[in-house]
Structure 1
């Protein structure tokens, strides 16, 4: 039985879809389907249900995938052992984190990281929702909600601060006419959205979107006032901070699956994340940025 076919089935089980498995393995859908079909011919029965919008595994498929996942884990341990004896850090680490952190902080830091660890592969999932480490969704997570479980390793990284931003022209509008840009229903229960609604005090929300980048674009277009992470807003040439009032910073937490605490690859990524947040410990955000408060005479 071809291990590569088993590896594809295990990846399909872990990722939950043909598209996810293809992305994870760096191949196309046709390759995934071909290897699954070859494995089914070898086994003599269906392992995957090919539905219009999903590809769930059959009971037999789940049983084989569970064993294949354990084989993959053992294979990774062998790989790490071999390379550690050569003084190299290798392997694949799956990291899930908020989109803004990945785009604004992590990715710009990766060229230097890759120079130190050229054989380490990183799979990034930019997701505002909480991924399950226990179900294999990720090896490491950066979360903005303090983890409550005891089965994983948790470390507080630092704070992410938020402030109110708009264009200078919009800030000149009478404050009673201000409109706001906030989160849609998917993230309506976040602490910063609750704070913004209290600040708005009944004034209109002109736009609701699901991510900070759309909020920044809307504020730059003059559609209203947005509560943005300082890290994102301060990169804009069009926005100014309009008020000294701001919500309490949100803590960022590093979560590592307990089974991977001795992995040199996971430790390398974790140490890098800790350095990113600790580089400017005196600033509330992950990077030290100049604060620009709009010096405007706002009519009441």
Structure 2
């Protein structure tokens, strides 16, 4: 039996389709299908049902996939153990954070770290989704929602303040004439969006986007008043703050997998994050 084929089955179970598994593995769906067929042949069991529009796992397939996921977790623990045991400021550290913090806080703070530790490679993911540290997607994560789970080291490292910004010509308009740039329906639940909807009252939220960078660009283009992170908008000469009212600041949390808390490379990146957040 080829152990790599078990990994393919676990990914297929997690992704739910050949196409999804192929994307996750970086191969084509024919390769996934061939690997599953090889695993079925070596085990003498049917693991998936090959239907016209889907490939659901059989009951046997589900049981084998569950065992394969446990093997994945074990392999990831070995990788983290090896990383932590290196004892040097070299190798690779995977960091994920919300896009606005990546562009406005983390990237500007990376130059001194790279100068001090030239053998350290940072894999930086600007992702609004919550990456899983247990699945090996990241060694450290920065989040704007309080993390859950006892297996990780969690520390609050700062907060992000928000304020309302617009171009000077829009700022001169009577407030009852303001039109707003806001999040789309996928992010209506976030605290600053709820605050903006209450502040706008019956005034229109007529340009909706899914990220701060688009809102920032829209505000600079004179398309309305936007509620933006102050770390992003405060230094922009094209925008002015239109009111002193603002929502409560959002806490920022750093999460480190417990297996990596003593790894020198991870600790160096964590120290950089703490110092960078202290300066905003």
Fold shared per TM-score above 0.5: yes
- Asked whether the equivalents of residues 80 and 90 of structure 1 are also in contact (C-alpha less than 8 Å), the reply is no
**What is the alpha-carbon distance in structure 1 between the residues aligned to residue 125 and residue 50 of structure 2?**
27
Partner of 2:260: 263
- Asked whether the equivalents of residues 144 and 253 of structure 2 are also in contact (C-alpha less than 8 Å), the reply is yes
* Unmatched runs of 5 consecutive residues or more in structure 2: none
- Asked whether the equivalents of residues 131 and 141 of structure 1 are also in contact (C-alpha less than 8 Å), the reply is yes
Query: In the TM superposition, what whole-angstrom CA distance separates every residue of 1:46-66 from its partner, at most 9, and x where no partner exists?
Result: 434566776554332332233
- Asked whether the equivalents of residues 98 and 143 of structure 2 are also in contact (C-alpha less than 8 Å), the reply is yes
**What is the alpha-carbon distance in structure 1 between the residues aligned to residue 176 and residue 19 of structure 2?**
48
Partner of 1:126: 127
Moved more, 143-152 or 179-188: 143-152
Partner of 2:225: 225
Partner of 2:276: 279
- Asked whether the equivalents of residues 183 and 193 of structure 1 are also in contact (C-alpha less than 8 Å), the reply is yes
Query: In the TM superposition, what whole-angstrom CA distance separates every residue of 1:88-145 from its partner, at most 9, and x where no partner exists?
Result: 765785x554332344444566675584434x7x4737134x5666788766543322
- Choose the corresponding residue for 1:117, options 109, 115, 120: 120
TM-score by length of 1: 0.72
User: Aligned-pair distance for 1:227?
Assistant: 0.1
**What is the alpha-carbon distance in structure 2 between the residues aligned to residue 248 and residue 108 of structure 1?**
25
Moved more, 212-221 or 101-110: 101-110
Partner of 1:70: 70
1:165 equivalent to 2:165? Answer yes
Moved more, 198-207 or 228-237: 228-237
Q: How does 1:46-85 map to 2 (within 5 A)?
A: 46-49=46-49, 56-79=56-79, 84=85
Q: How does 1:33-48 map to 2 (within 5 A)?
A: 33-48=33-48
- Asked whether the equivalents of residues 49 and 57 of structure 1 are also in contact (C-alpha less than 8 Å), the reply is yes
TM-score by length of 2: 0.76
Partner of 2:248: 248
- Asked whether the equivalents of residues 104 and 232 of structure 2 are also in contact (C-alpha less than 8 Å), the reply is yes
- Asked whether the equivalents of residues 261 and 267 of structure 1 are also in contact (C-alpha less than 8 Å), the reply is no
Moved more, 232-241 or 203-212: 232-241
| Higher relative contact order (CA closer than 8 Å, sequence separation 6+) | 2
- Asked whether the equivalents of residues 96 and 140 of structure 1 are also in contact (C-alpha less than 8 Å), the reply is yes
| Secondary structure of residue in 1 paired with 2:36 | helix
- Asked whether the equivalents of residues 158 and 277 of structure 2 are also in contact (C-alpha less than 8 Å), the reply is no
User: Aligned-pair distance for 1:178?
Assistant: 0.6
Residue 262 to residue 159, structure 1, CA distance change in 2 (3 Å): same
Q: Number of residues paired by the alignment?
A: 276
| Secondary structure of residue in 2 paired with 1:279 | helix
| Secondary structure of residue in 1 paired with 2:203 | coil
| Secondary structure of residue in 2 paired with 1:207 | strand
**What is the alpha-carbon distance in structure 1 between the residues aligned to residue 53 and residue 221 of structure 2?**
37
Moved more, 43-52 or 63-72: 43-52
- Asked whether the equivalents of residues 261 and 267 of structure 2 are also in contact (C-alpha less than 8 Å), the reply is no
User: Aligned-pair distance for 1:169?
Assistant: 2.2
Q: CA RMSD, aligned part only?
A: 3.8
**What is the alpha-carbon distance in structure 1 between the residues aligned to residue 132 and residue 141 of structure 2?**
9
- Asked whether the equivalents of residues 80 and 89 of structure 1 are also in contact (C-alpha less than 8 Å), the reply is no
* Unmatched runs of 5 consecutive residues or more in structure 1: 288-300
**What is the alpha-carbon distance in structure 2 between the residues aligned to residue 53 and residue 278 of structure 1?**
51
| Secondary structure of residue in 1 paired with 2:259 | coil
Moved more, 204-213 or 27-36: 27-36
